Amino acid sequence: MIKLYALTIHEAHQLLKEKKISALELTGAVLARLSKVESKIGACVAITEDLALKQAAKADKYIKGGEIQPLTGIPVLIKDNICTKDLRTTCSSKMLEDFIPPYDASVVSKLKAAKAVIVGKTNMDEFAMGSSTENSAFFPTRNPWNLDCVPGGSSGGSAAAIAADEAIYALGSDTGGSIRQPAGFCNVVGLKPTYGRVSRFGLVAFASSLDQIGPITKDVTDCAIVMNTITGHDPLDSTCLPYSVPDYTNSLIPHLKNLRIGVPKEYFVEGMQEEVRVALKSAINKLQELGAKIDEVSLPHTKYALAVYYILAPSEASANLARYDGAKYGFSYQDTDNMWEAMEKTKQFGFGAEVKRRIMLGTYALSAGYYDAYYLKAQKVRTLIRQEFDRVFEKYNALVTPTSPTVPFKLGEKVEDPWQMYLSDVCTIPVNITGIPAISVPAGFANGLPIGMQIMSPPLNEEILFRIAFTYEQATNWHKMKPPI
């Protein structure tokens, strides 16, 4: 008996196209799966059963009339910092607990135009600030591979849900690794596109020069299919690139002949878990067997990326989150006659500890007397890091690194030590700083927990990522392994 909820996008699409299943049957199977396992994982802040069934019924009418697109009738989960019209968008924060956007994010509009079925919104670190989904104001999300472990963050709800077959695919956002790190932790595929490749209109801002929306899927083929739908110029987002978009499924070519891949030695950092090192060496050897030419390369400024990120991202967060003053929307502290006290208490009780920590870091870095010493210097080092990547990409088609230096850690293990938590993103942060695209694919296990391999390419060169990721995936079975939940 086929488990409909376990299908990939391309498998489900084929069955829908051949009318062997209906969108209502597929959606019903996913909703049943959600009701069975969601209480153990906590991946969703909202399950939109009524909306999903209406959208599925509508999709079936289109399919019956011969109008079917690759995502028609296929259930999706949306990270809860992506605006959905008439549907709560909370950013997993008390500040936006009752916020219902009057409009859809551009990516949601594109999914609706493709007749996708929205089954819910996923849990996340509050305002996308975190690496474990423990910073949600509502509840932590658990890793389906081990319920005592974190799923990564901040898109931990999206990654955990796809690993547990709670939807066929999901959308996340990535500011410093928030799609790729949880994808690596949950044994699924996660892509952070080139900055500006996917519209950010309707994405609740954290750090505007770093944020990017991207897909989390069960395999590389699905990732390419979702990218075909959500990518493209959007006049509503001034940072969205006005370039034509290729059909990414044409890049799913299973050979690596004549491709040059660099392995940056700085990413095999001190403190990296030995099992991760061994798994990555094995994955790199497999790429070589498949025809790629592999060389060790050096990116010496990489060691400054973490420090640069934790000046730039909090600075931008400080500016972006100033809008939550209790006056226009969101949580508002009312028990006072003083406007200034009301604003202060709104922020005090509306934001969680990690968000307040980053706002204070950013406000300090931007303050008079410290702007040049911190923010300006960080921008200059950011330029150096970008130039270093540009030079390496003159010789190499792609770079390969671990997605994370460790396997998923235990819930609560790093909550009291922000620095250790920040180090979880040491391999992913340079990608956001430079604006390049990167993908994480399943690459092995250690003690029953997943290990991800990250592949980076030059800007606007997602085709290379898909080709390498697809070739590796087809030659291994990691992506076919499912958690015992």
Per residue in 138-197, pLDDT tens?
999 999 999 999 999 999 999 999 999 999 999 999 999 999 999 999 999 999 999 999
Q: Does residue 336 lie in a domain region?
A: no
Q: Which residues contact 323 (CB under 8 A, 6 or more apart)?
A: none
The residues facing 117 across adjacent strands are: 75
Token readout for 357 is 């920590």
End-to-end CA distance of the chain: 18
Q: Determine which helix (DSSP H) or strand (DSSP E) holds 229, and give its type and residue range.
A: helix 220-230
Q: Has this prediction a pTM greater than 0.85?
A: yes
Task: Indicate the pLDDT class of residue 28, thresholds 50, 70 and 90.
Answer: very high
Decide if pLDDT at 218 tops 80: yes
The residues facing 84 across adjacent strands are: 87
Token readout for 150 is 């974190």
Average pLDDT of every residue of the chain: 95
Residues comprising the chain, all counted? 485
Amino acid at 317: A
Contact 135, 126 (CB under 8 A): yes
Distance CA 253, CA 218 (A): 18
Q: Does residue 29 lie in a domain region?
A: yes
Q: Does residue 297 lie in a domain region?
A: no
Decide if pLDDT at 415 tops 80: no
Q: Which of 196, 136, 194 is nearest to 160 (CA)?
A: 136
Q: Does residue 243 lie in a domain region?
A: yes
Residues 313, 405, 402: CA angle, nearest 5 degrees:
90
Peptide bond into 154 cis (omega under 30): yes
CB burial readout 257-270, b (16+ within 10 A) else e = eebebbbbebbbbe
Dihedral (CA of 456, 457, 463, 464) sign: negative
pLDDT at 368: 86
Classified as helix, coil or strand, 260 is strand
The tens digit of pLDDT for each residue in 93-113 reads: 999 999 999 999 999 999 999
Q: Does residue 122 lie in a domain region?
A: yes
**Across residues 327-336, what is the average pLDDT?**
84
Residues noted as catalytic: 79, 154, 178
Q: Does residue 457 lie in a domain region?
A: no
Q: Does residue 269 lie in a domain region?
A: no
pLDDT at 337: 81
Dihedral (CA of 166, 169, 173, 177) sign: positive
Decide if pLDDT at 1 tops 90: no
Contact 174, 214 (CB under 8 A): yes
CA 112 to chain centre: 20
pLDDT at 362: 94
pLDDT at 333: 82
Classified as helix, coil or strand, 93 is coil
CATH code for the domain in which residue 84 is found? 3.90.1300.10
Distance CA 181, CA 60 (A): 35
Number of structural domains in the chain: 1
Q: How many CB atoms lie within 10 A of CB 59?
A: 27
Classified as helix, coil or strand, 443 is strand
The tens digit of pLDDT for each residue in 441-460 reads: 999 999 999 999 999 999 99
Q: Does residue 332 lie in a domain region?
A: no
DSSP 8-state secondary structure symbol assigned to residue 248 = G
Distance CA 363, CA 476 (A): 47
Domain that holds residue 53: 4-258+465-480
